[in-house]
């Protein structure tokens, strides 16, 4: 078990460019979550998947954000036309089980995005 | 909807002193409660969780937390802290959909 893996760990991009982050969950975890964390704040929910199905998207996620989880394994989070306000750490987490299980979610080390 | 409040943004404490980090939650339904720790430039690691049963929960690194339903609290405690406990601590609740909601965090600064 190698844990949740995220890459790249750091990304600096110019405003207006597109960026994509990848998350590889713990193997056989069927739930995958994306969170965003800014300095001095706790993680904010963005979206989550049960296998390949996207269950919910937060209102924080504008149309410039899209997440996919083809085949229910790894996931990608793409941000189009980046803005300076997108600068944050993007955290991926995974868990086993489904609704009402109280299962722990396990986090990756995050992907830092800086938009200049 | 669920919400989590961590009133103390920073807690300074001397090494070997006891510490309590406060967490209150708001929910109209039963939830599960968690504490996570985050070291600089890293993701979050689970310290402990409460699902049901005994209201006193023991976690890793000597931490424990007590669930108080009437006060909707889940405070984290350690009787004697070490320098290595310096980190940011997040309280979280998960709902019946297994979505997690986090507080804004408490930075614990252990001084020698």
User: pLDDT tens-digit profile of A68-93?
Assistant: 999 889 999 999 999 999 999 999 99
Top pLDDT among B92 and B42 is at: B92
Q: What span, in angstroms and rounded, lies between the C-alpha atoms of B16 and A105? A: 31
| pLDDT tens digits, A14-44 | 999 999 999 999 998 999 999 999 988 899 9
pLDDT above 90 for B111: yes
Q: Which of A102, A103, A110 sits opposite B43 (nearest CB)?
A: A110
CA–CA distance, A49 with A33 (Å, rounded to integer): 6
pLDDT of residue A108: 95
pLDDT of A113 strictly over 60: yes
Strands A10-13 and A111-115: parallel
Nearest Cα neighbor of B24 from B70, B63, B60 is B70
Using a CB-CB cut-off of 8 Å, the residues of chain A touching B99 are: 45, 48, 56
Cα separation, A92 vs A23, in Å, equals 6
- Work out the minimum CA distance from B44 to partner chain A, whole angstroms: 6
Q: What is the mean pLDDT of chain A?
A: 92
pLDDT of residue B2: 78
- Examine the pLDDT at A1 and tell me if it is beyond 60: no
Per-residue CA distances from A98 to A101, B3, B47, B68, B99 (Å): 6, 21, 22, 26, 10
- Which three-class secondary structure state does DSSP give residue B62? helix
Across B39-86, the runs of DSSP E, i.e. the strands, are: 44-50, 56-58, 64-68, 73-78
């Amino acid at each position: 078990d190698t844990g949740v893996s995220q890459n790249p760990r750091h990304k600096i991009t110019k405003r207006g460019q597109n960026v994509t982050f990848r998350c590889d969950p713990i193997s056989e975890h069927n739930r995958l979550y994306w969170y965003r964390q800014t300095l001095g704040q706790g993680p904010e929910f963005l979206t989550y998947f049960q296998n390949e199905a996207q269950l919910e998207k937060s209102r924080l996620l504008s149309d410039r954000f899209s997440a996919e989880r083809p085949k229910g394994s790894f996931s990608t989070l793409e941000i189009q036309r980046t803005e300076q306000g997108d600068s944050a750490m993007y955290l991926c987490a995974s868990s086993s089980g489904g609704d009402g299980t109280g299962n722990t979610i396990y986090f990756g080390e995050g992907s830092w995005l800086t938009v200049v | 909807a669920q919400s989590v409040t961590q009133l103390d943004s920073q807690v300074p404490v001397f090494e070997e002193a006891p510490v309590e980090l406060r967490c209150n939650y708001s929910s109209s339904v039963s939830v599960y409660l968690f504490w996570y720790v985050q070291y600089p430039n890293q993701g979050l690691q689970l310290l402990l969780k409460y699902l049901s049963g005994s209201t006193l929960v023991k976690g890793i690194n000597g931490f424990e937390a007590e669930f108080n339903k009437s006060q909707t609290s889940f405070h984290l405690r350690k009787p004697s802290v070490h320098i290595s406990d310096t980190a940011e601590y997040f309280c979280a609740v998960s709902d019946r959909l297994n979505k997690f909601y986090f507080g804004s965090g408490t930075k614990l600064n252990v001084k020698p």
